[in-house]
Amino acid sequence: MASSSPSSSSSSSSEETTTSSSNGSAVPSLKYSRRASLRSVVGRPDGGLGLAGERAVVGGWVKSSRAVKAKLDGPVSPPRTMPATETTRLTCTEVLMARVPLVRCFAKLIGVGGSAAVDRVASVSVSYKLAVETALVRINDGSCLQDLQIVVNSSLCPLEQVTAIGACVLVEGKLELVEGRSQQYVAQIRVDKVLHVGPVSIDKYPLSNVELLPEIVKDYPHLAARTTVMASVARVRSEMVHAAHAFFQANEFFHVNTPIITASAAADRRKMFRVMRITSKSDNRAITPEVVRASIKTKTKQIEALKRSESNKEALEAAELDLQRANDLATQLEQQGNADFSDDFFRRPVYLSPDHTLHLETYACALSSVYTFSPAFQAENLEPHKHLAEKWTIDAELAFAELEDAISCAKDCLIWILSRVSKNCSDELKFLSTRVNNGHVFHIESAVSSPWERVTYSEAVNVLLQVKDKPFEAKVELGMPLSLEHMSYLVDDYYKKPVVICEYPKELKPFYARLMEDGTKVSAFDIVMPKVGIIACGTQKEERMGNLTARIDDSRLPRDQWEWYLDIRRHGTVKHSGLSVDIEQLLLLVTCLNDIRHIKPFQRTKGDAKC
C-alpha cells in the first residue's frame, strides 16, 4: 500500500490529487476541499522539505502560538546555515556578510564587493527576518501527528484571532525552510492570505492546556478528538477498521449488516438493554423490572405504615393484594413471561443486540463466508475502565468450516490488522507509548512473528493451580470461568506470548457451541493477549438438531422464540463456525492505554453517557 507517510492510510490516493493550480503549485490538494492536508506536507518522509518554495492552502486548529516582535536591524533566531538554494550564487565574503550584519555594514562603508553585492546580500538576509509583529502558530488538521507552523503578519489580520488555542484557520502562503531541532531544516508556511478564522471563546475553551489529563478530557467528548492523544487513537482505529475490511474482502467474505435490535437473546436478559417506546401503554403501566421493584419497595413501606397505624382491615388487605400483584408482575418480567406488550412498538420484548453471531449464521448458510462490523451492547456492572456498555466488534461466520478453520481465520485476521497498523501508524504508536504509558510499547512484531501458545481450558487451570507465589483474588477451580487476573498471568508471566484457549466446559459457553464427543466440553476458543485479556473468541456451531434442542431446553430458553434458528438446521444444514474480534480491546492493546474509556470520545459506561 502506497502512502505518503508512515501514518497515511491507503485511502489517501483517492482523496488527494497533485493538482496544477493557477499558481503552478505541486502540493497535493484534497479532492473535495481545495486545500492541502497536513499529511501531504509535514507528514511526508522529508517533513515537507521537498516542497520548499511551493504555494499551498492549508487549514487546521491552533495547537499553540506565540507572538514575536523583532527589530529591523537583525533577524530573530537566525539560522546557523543558510539553505543552499539561497547561497549558491553568493561568494564566501557575501555569505559572511549575509550571516553577520556588522560585517555587512563595515563592507558597505569601505566599499568591499560593490554596493550592488551588498544590496543583494541584504535582500537575502532580510528574507529571513520576521515582521515587526508576527505570530508563529502551530496548527493541525487531524490528518497526521505532526503540526505545521504558519507565520502570520499582523498586517493580514489581528493576531489575537489566529493565536487563540482552539481557533480554526484557513490560510494560503508559501512553504519555506527554517532551522529546527538538531540543526535540521523543517518546513513552515509564510502566510500572505488569511481565508478564514473560526474564533474561539478563550475564557471558556476547556482544552487550552495542552497537558490536560485524560480524566479531564473525557468530560468534554465533543472536543476530545482535538487533543493529540485522542486524534492519534482515532487514526489508529481508522486504520484498524480499514485493515479488517481489507482482510475479509481479500479472502472472499461478503460484508452484511445484522440487526442492532433483536428479539432473540442467548445471553442473560438481565445483562441486556431493553428497548421500549416511551409513549407505549405498557411503559405507562410500569412493566420494566426496575420500576416494578421500586414500586414493590414503596408498597411494602405503605403496608408497614398501615399496620403501625392500625388502619381498617379493608385498606390493609387492598394494599397487600396490590403488593402481591406487583410481585407477580416482577416474577413475570424476570422470567420474560406474559407481560402485556400489545401496545408496545414491536408488540414483544426486544433488546439491543449483545452479539451478531446468530443472525450472521443465516447469511453464512446462504453466502458461505460473511462478516459484519457492528456495535454490541452489554448491560453488565463491570469495571468501567475495562468494559464498555457499547463496543464495536468484527464478527465473521464461515460455512463448511470447523473450529480449526475459525481459529486460523481469527489468528490470520489479527496478524493482518496488527501488521498494517504497525506499518501505517508507527508515528502514532510511538507517540502514545512515550506520552501516555511511560515508554511501554507492546511489541507488535513479536506477536506477529512468534508462534502463539495453544492450550485447553483444563491445561490452563492446571497451570494456575500450580502457582504458589502469587495469590489470586478469584478462585481457581475447574468448571469456573477464568478471570482477567488468571488470563493475565498466563500470557504475561507464564507463556509470555499470545495464548489460544480452547475446549471449554459446556456450562461456560452459549448453547449454540458444538458439543464435543465426551459430552462435557464444547468446540470454542478465546484468544488472549498481554495486558488486555480476550480480544477474540469463537465457536463451531452445533448443527445437530437433537443436541441443539437439548441445549436450548437445558438453558431454559423458550423453544418458540428459537424456531427460526432451528430452521437453519432443518433446511440444508451445514457445519459452520464463527469468530468475533473486539475492536476496543484490540485498540487498547496497540495504543498501550490503560483505560478503555480513553480510546473513545463518546464512551458509554454505567452512569456515564455524555452527548
pLDDT tens by residue, 329-387 = 666 566 554 456 666 777 778 888 888 999 999 999 999 999 999 998 887 766 656 77
pLDDT in tens, 419-445: 999 999 999 988 888 766 555 556 677
> 388502619: which residue's cell?
311
- 94 with 113: CB under 8 angstroms? yes
- 273 with 379: CB under 8 angstroms? yes
Stretch 185-204: mean pLDDT, rounded? Answer: 89
Q: Rounded to whole angstroms, what are the CA distances from 90 to 118, 123, 162, 183?
A: 11, 12, 37, 22
pLDDT (0 to 100) of residue 331: 61
pLDDT (0 to 100) of residue 34: 87
pLDDT (0 to 100) of residue 276: 74
pLDDT (0 to 100) of residue 304: 79
pLDDT (0 to 100) of residue 75: 41
The Cα–Cα gap between 239 and 421 comes to 6
Neighbours of 590 (CB within 10 A): 27
- 173 with 189: CB under 8 angstroms? yes
Dihedral angle computed from the Cα positions of residues 386, 388, 391 and 393, in that order, rounded to the nearest 10 degrees: 30
Element (H, E) at 499: strand 499-505
Residue, of 189 and 602, whose pLDDT is higher: 189
What number does CATH give the domain 225-260+353-599? Answer: 3.30.930.10
DSSP assignment of 158-191, as one string? -HHHHHSTT-EEEEEEEEEEEE-GGG-EEEEEEE
Helix (DSSP H) and strand (DSSP E) numbers for the chain: 20, 18
Closest CA to 460 of 486, 442, 497, 426: 486
pLDDT (0 to 100) of residue 97: 55
Enumerate the β-bridge partners of residue 376.
Answer: 391
The Cα–Cα gap between 512 and 267 comes to 11
pLDDT (0 to 100) of residue 18: 45
The Cα–Cα gap between 290 and 117 comes to 88
pLDDT band at 113 (very low <50, low <70, confident <90, very high): low
> 443465516: which residue's cell?
362
The C-alpha cell at 458 is: 483444563
> 462435557: which residue's cell?
520
Residue, of 8 and 215, whose pLDDT is higher: 215
Cβ-based neighbours of 528, under 8 Å, separated by 6 or more: 487, 490, 491, 498, 499, 500, 501, 534, 535
The Cα–Cα gap between 506 and 53 comes to 69
Dihedral angle computed from the Cα positions of residues 250, 251, 257 and 258, in that order, rounded to the nearest 10 degrees: -150
Residue 88, pLDDT > 50, answer no
The Cα–Cα gap between 396 and 408 comes to 12
High-pLDDT (> 90) share of the chain, %: 40
Q: What is the DSSP letter of 321?
A: H
Sign of the Cα pseudo-torsion (94, 100, 101, 105, in order): negative
Same fold for the pair 1-70+131-205 and 225-260+353-599: no
Residue, of 127 and 312, whose pLDDT is higher: 312
pLDDT (0 to 100) of residue 175: 93
Stretch 199-220: mean pLDDT, rounded? Answer: 76
pLDDT band at 13 (very low <50, low <70, confident <90, very high): very low
> 493576531: which residue's cell?
159
Domain positions in the chain are 1-70+131-205, 71-129, 225-260+353-599, 286-334
High-pLDDT (> 70) share of the chain, %: 74
Cβ-based neighbours of 160, under 8 Å, separated by 6 or more: none
Cβ-based neighbours of 438, under 8 Å, separated by 6 or more: none
Residue, of 59 and 229, whose pLDDT is higher: 59
pLDDT band at 560 (very low <50, low <70, confident <90, very high): confident
Closest CA to 410 of 226, 578, 158: 578
Neighbours of 109 (CB within 10 A): 9
Residue 11, pLDDT > 50, answer no
pLDDT (0 to 100) of residue 117: 52
Closest CA to 556 of 278, 320, 337: 337
Residue 115, pLDDT > 70, answer no
Residue 449, pLDDT > 90, answer no
Instruction: State how far Cα 547 lies from the chain centre.
Output: 40
- 149 with 185: CB under 8 angstroms? no
Closest CA to 532 of 416, 407, 440, 412: 440
- 62 with 167: CB under 8 angstroms? yes
pLDDT (0 to 100) of residue 125: 44
The C-alpha cell at 216 is: 479531564
3-state secondary structure 188-256: EEEEEEEEEEECCCCCCCCCCCCCCCHHHHCCCCCCHHHCHHHHHHHHHHHHHHHHHHHHHHHCCCEEC
pLDDT band at 564 (very low <50, low <70, confident <90, very high): very high
Helix (H, G, I), strand (E, B) or coil at 578: strand
What number does CATH give the domain 1-70+131-205? Answer: 2.40.50.140
Neighbours of 229 (CB within 10 A): 21
The pLDDT mean for the chain works out to: 80
Helix (H, G, I), strand (E, B) or coil at 509: coil
> Helix, strand, coil proportions of the chain in percent (round to 5)?
40, 20, 40
Residue 402, pLDDT > 90, answer yes
Dihedral angle computed from the Cα positions of residues 571, 573, 576 and 582, in that order, rounded to the nearest 10 degrees: 30
The Cα–Cα gap between 499 and 478 comes to 19
Helix (H, G, I), strand (E, B) or coil at 260: coil
pLDDT (0 to 100) of residue 150: 95
pLDDT band at 180 (very low <50, low <70, confident <90, very high): low
pLDDT (0 to 100) of residue 292: 74
pLDDT in tens, 32-81: 988 999 999 998 888 888 898 999 999 999 999 888 865 444 444 444 44
pLDDT band at 193 (very low <50, low <70, confident <90, very high): very high
pLDDT (0 to 100) of residue 108: 58
Stretch 118-127: mean pLDDT, rounded? Answer: 47
The C-alpha cell at 353 is: 443486540
- 500 with 452: CB under 8 angstroms? yes
Stretch 581-588: mean pLDDT, rounded? Answer: 92
Residue, of 255 and 330, whose pLDDT is higher: 255
pLDDT (0 to 100) of residue 124: 46
Residue, of 179 and 517, whose pLDDT is higher: 517
Q: Which of 6-20, 386-400, 428-442 has the lowest mean pLDDT?
A: 6-20
Residue 318, pLDDT > 80, answer no
**Most confident by average pLDDT, 17-31, 109-123, 217-231, 307-321:** 217-231
Stretch 222-231: mean pLDDT, rounded? Answer: 86
pLDDT (0 to 100) of residue 502: 96
pLDDT band at 146 (very low <50, low <70, confident <90, very high): very high
